[in-house]
């Protein structure tokens, strides 16, 4: 899967540079599976947003900055997360992960 992770060291460092933001708004939780590995970037496609938004996700004590993309799905329909994001969170690529999602 390394050939599909086209993020740079700078991209990964930016994703990991999470600062507790007082202005972060919790959007809720979502179950996510691996999205298309050929879609570059550190993103989450989710029904929790209706427009492209910068945000953050938490998973089992790990937190990363992430681009939140609208999935167009119904509320509760689940989400897809990018390959680089899954790797940064330390999640198994074959798992369904429960994420807490925040908008910046």
pTM, two decimals, is: 0.84
Q: What is the pLDDT of residue 17?
A: 80
- Per-residue pLDDT at 97: 97
Position 24 scores a pLDDT of 78
Q: Quick one: which of 73, 75, 81, 82 has its CA closest to 98?
A: 81
Q: Write down the pLDDT at residue 12.
A: 79
What is the residue-level pLDDT of the chain in tens, covering all 104 positions? Answer: 566 777 778 877 887 787 765 567 899 999 999 999 889 999 999 999 999 999 999 999 999 999 999 999 888 899 999 999 999 999 999 999 999 999 98
Domain 2-103 has CATH 2.60.120.560: no
Instruction: Indicate the domain borders of the chain.
Output: 2-103
b/e 59-95 (16+ beta carbons within 10 angstroms → b) = beeebbbbbbbebeeeeeeebbbbbbbbbbbebeeee
60: left (phi over 0), alpha (psi -120 to 50) or beta: left
């Amino acid at each position: 899967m390394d050939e599909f992770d086209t993020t740079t060291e700078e991209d990964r460092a930016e994703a990991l540079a999470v600062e507790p933001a007082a202005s972060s708004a919790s959007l809720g939780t979502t179950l996510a599976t691996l999205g298309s590995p050929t879609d570059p970037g550190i993103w989450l496609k989710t029904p929790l947003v209706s427009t492209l938004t910068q945000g953050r996700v938490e998973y089992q004590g790990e937190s990363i900055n992430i681009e939140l993309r609208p999935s167009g799905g119904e509320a509760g329909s689940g989400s897809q997360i990018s390959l680089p994001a899954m790797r940064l969170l330390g999640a198994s690529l074959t798992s369904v992960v429960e994420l807490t999602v925040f908008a910046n």
